Amino acid sequence: MLWKAGVAAAMLLALAACGSSKMDRGLSGGAIGAGVGGAAGAATGGSILGGAALGGAAGAATGVLTDEDDVDLGEPVWRK
Walking along the chain (80 residues) 10 residues at a time, the average pLDDT comes out as: 63 59 86 90 90 92 81 66
Give the DSSP per-residue string, 37-73: HHHHHHHHTS-HHHHHHHHHHHHHHHHHHS-TTTS--
CB 48 within 8 A of CB 38: yes
CB 38 within 8 A of CB 68: no
Q: What is the pTM of this model?
A: 0.65
**What local confidence, expressed as pLDDT, does residue 8 receive?**
63
**What local confidence, expressed as pLDDT, does residue 26 receive?**
87
